[in-house]
Amino acid sequence: MCGPFNPLPMSIESPISGPSPLTTIVSEELPNSDLSQLEYKPQVPTPSSEIFKNQDLLGVVLEFLEHDEFLVATRKNLLLAALTSKAFLEPAMNSLWSSLDSLAPLLKLLPSFVPIDNVYIFTGVIAKGHWERFDYYARRVKFLDSLTYRAGNNSITVSDYAYLRIAQARLSHSSSPLFPALRRLRIPDILIPPSNILSAAFLVSSPSLESVELHSQATSDPHFFASYLSFLVAELAPTLRCLILRGNPRTESLTLLRHLRNIRTLEIRFPELIFSPDLFGTLASLEYLSDLILDSAPPLISPLRKKIMGIARATSGVPLLKLDQLNNLQITGSPTALYHVLGQLHALRLKSMVVKIRGEKTGEPCPFTPLSSECFKCISRSPSLSSIRISETENYSVFLTISNIRPILALSQLEELDISVYSMTGGDKVIQELSSNLPILKTLILPSKWNQLGSLPKHPTFRSLGILADNCPDLIQLKLAIDPLAYLPSFRNKTAAVRQRSHPLKTLYIADANPNGKPLTTTQLVAISRYTDQIFPNLELVGHYGSGNKFKTVDKVRGAFQAVRRDICGCFVEKTAQPSYVSQGTQPSYVSQATQTTYIPVWPGIPILHEGNR
């Protein structure tokens, strides 16, 4: 029986490349005159046959079997695929063993791996055949999520002596690494004492290892942390691209990072870490660093000094943090800690910055101090920034004014501005200043609470939506707090000129800047819905955020207006003659989806004409 894995009898089987193309068999009894009529026609391989020959393509197909809600069902599917045919065997086994959450499945492949007092050790001899079986599976592991099970009924404890036994037995068998394809290693916090498993990290080495993630238990052990960082420097410095460190280690251990010069992504989340001059110098030595995540404590002495040539600088003994290749920065800290780091930053190619503000440890949490303006001045020294996100941590409230954020309004390439703090002050004039200075904004997110400081209430009104529609023609997502009772749009608006702009805004979230005010009447809701539909005809969602619920029904009414307008444009479209004073090249038009006809919008005062298609 012939099939995709059973070649035809006349095909020539190659032990390496599989079935070869079919060849024409010529009978010796045919006369020479007939040989010219038999032309060789090579068989064109079908797409399915090419896929079955390509292990990488089969691996991509089998990746879809991994995304199952239940892990047991996922592994069962991959195992069944491996048993289906030889073509599926290797890619299915690669997918099945590519990611492990513990070393236990591999350790159990070796002989005499038994528990003594609930702690596993090796009691037998590990022969050559045992290593071959181990390598058959270990060579497929690419991601190791933990050295041991973190919780559950499958948790086991492995003795340190077991890892020493593996290291000794491996050296007597081969010098090749245990996990030659490993790319990512993660050592999270676990319930059992970390000393029982941290020594296994030295076994999990690979020439292809690109990412290492160490959590608190690994970084808080000074002996392991310093030893393992030196191990990374000695063994993996050329290949390591990503290093994630979380916890509270000793600062002196971090000086070893300067030897990992090929690092592209570095995350240091140490809330108690004070950035010393040595640490600044270490970070500055990472010349290829493109992504940096920091969490730091304020310095022992406030870094705020007298301004030098208009730019506040920290102590002159602190080196400049010059990172020429840095594209993305995320930093968390108190206002003092933020200024301590941002004041030294020099990153002219920085594209994205995320700032998370944490309260000062001294005294009660207080509103954002004037130091915030200095932080924003530091941010504005990165002229290529296209995205800025500012937020606050829990149990800390941040108040901002336009004077605080004014320095970043000079960033002409800014496309995303997300200020998700507690409150901001100012009315329509603030929106006017912000939007006129940042005309290419695509995302604008402002606080849900407004004007929590000051005696004279000034809230943005619905005029701000029109201002943003005029000044930011590329805006796609908008979140803004509005006082709906300060200004209500009229029913009688001239919408023709507005609609011709066809503003691309897709998502609009409105917060109630005056949640304690009177509820909106039905007439007011209809007016608001019609107004948002007029200036943003491509809206897909009008949502509500923050306190109050005045705007929850706006989206339904706006959707009704949009549906009616589209029905009219699609089924009962009217077109008119072009006015003589309008240029043919600049005349706006739209296409009916129902008739595929180009139409000209109706102009006031000109009679409507019903004509056929052009």
Q: CA nearest 375: which of 412, 419, 415?
A: 419
Contact 76, 93 (CB under 8 A): no
Q: What pLDDT is stored for residue 583 in this prediction?
A: 45
Amino acid at 320: L
pLDDT, one tens digit per residue, over 470-480 is 999 999 999 99
Would you say residue 368 has pLDDT above 90? no
Contact 524, 487 (CB under 8 A): no
Locus of tokens 């410095």: 237
Q: What pLDDT is stored for residue 286 in this prediction?
A: 94
Q: What pLDDT is stored for residue 525 in this prediction?
A: 87
pTM metric for this prediction: 0.77
Return the top range by mean pLDDT from 25-29, 73-77, 249-253, 354-358: 354-358
Of 238-247, 313-322, 421-430, the range with the lowest mean pLDDT is 313-322
Contact 562, 539 (CB under 8 A): yes
Q: What pLDDT is stored for residue 275 in this prediction?
A: 86
**H helix runs in 309-461, sequence order:** 335-342, 371-379, 402-405, 428-437
Helix (H) or strand (E) holding 269: strand 265-274
List of residues 6+ apart from 43 with CB closer than 8 A: 21, 22
Q: What pLDDT is stored for residue 411 in this prediction?
A: 96
pLDDT, one tens digit per residue, over 98-108 is 888 889 889 98
Q: What pLDDT is stored for residue 301 in this prediction?
A: 60
pLDDT, one tens digit per residue, over 499-509 is 445 899 999 99
Average pLDDT score over residue span 121-132: 91
Of 119-123, 425-429, 473-477, 566-570, the range with the lowest mean pLDDT is 566-570
List of residues 6+ apart from 244 with CB closer than 8 A: 211, 212, 213, 214, 265, 267
Locus of tokens 């506040």: 312
In sequence order, what DSSP letters do the residues of 45-67 get, joined into one string?
PPHHHHHHH-HHHHHHHHHGGG-
Q: CA nearest 453: which of 410, 416, 485, 424?
A: 424
Say which residue, 193 or 532, is predicted with more confidence: 532
Q: What pLDDT is stored for residue 358 in this prediction?
A: 86
- Alpha carbon distances (Å) from 290 to 12, 36, 348: 52, 66, 12
**Percentages helix, strand, coil for the chain, rounded to the nearest 5?**
35, 20, 50
pLDDT, one tens digit per residue, over 51-75 is 555 556 555 555 655 544 455 555 6
Contact 256, 230 (CB under 8 A): yes
Backbone torsions φ then ψ of 177, nearest 5 degrees: -70, 155
Average pLDDT score over residue span 139-156: 76
Contact 294, 268 (CB under 8 A): yes
Q: What pLDDT is stored for residue 507 in this prediction?
A: 95
Radius of gyration from C-alpha coordinates of the chain: 33
Q: What pLDDT is stored for residue 602 in this prediction?
A: 39
List of residues 6+ apart from 39 with CB closer than 8 A: none
Q: What pLDDT is stored for residue 586 in this prediction?
A: 45
CA angle 457, 462, 465 (to 5 degrees): 120
- Alpha carbon distances (Å) from 472 to 37, 132, 307: 73, 64, 35
Say which residue, 349 or 82, is predicted with more confidence: 349
**What is the chain's mean pLDDT, rounded?**
77
Of 348-352, 540-544, 604-608, the range with the lowest mean pLDDT is 604-608
Contact 245, 217 (CB under 8 A): no
Contact 274, 249 (CB under 8 A): no
Q: What pLDDT is stored for residue 48 in this prediction?
A: 55
Secondary structure of residue 544 in the 3-state scheme: strand
Of 81-85, 148-152, 225-229, the range with the lowest mean pLDDT is 148-152
Which tokens go with 236?
């993996």
Return the top range by mean pLDDT from 98-112, 435-449, 525-539: 435-449
- Alpha carbon distances (Å) from 398 to 111, 211, 485, 549: 60, 35, 26, 24
Of 137-146, 451-460, 517-526, 596-605, the range with the lowest mean pLDDT is 596-605
Backbone torsions φ then ψ of 318, nearest 5 degrees: -85, 125
Q: What pLDDT is stored for residue 554 in this prediction?
A: 86
Average pLDDT score over residue span 276-294: 93
Contact 485, 517 (CB under 8 A): yes
Confidence band for 594, pLDDT divided at 50, 70 and 90: very low
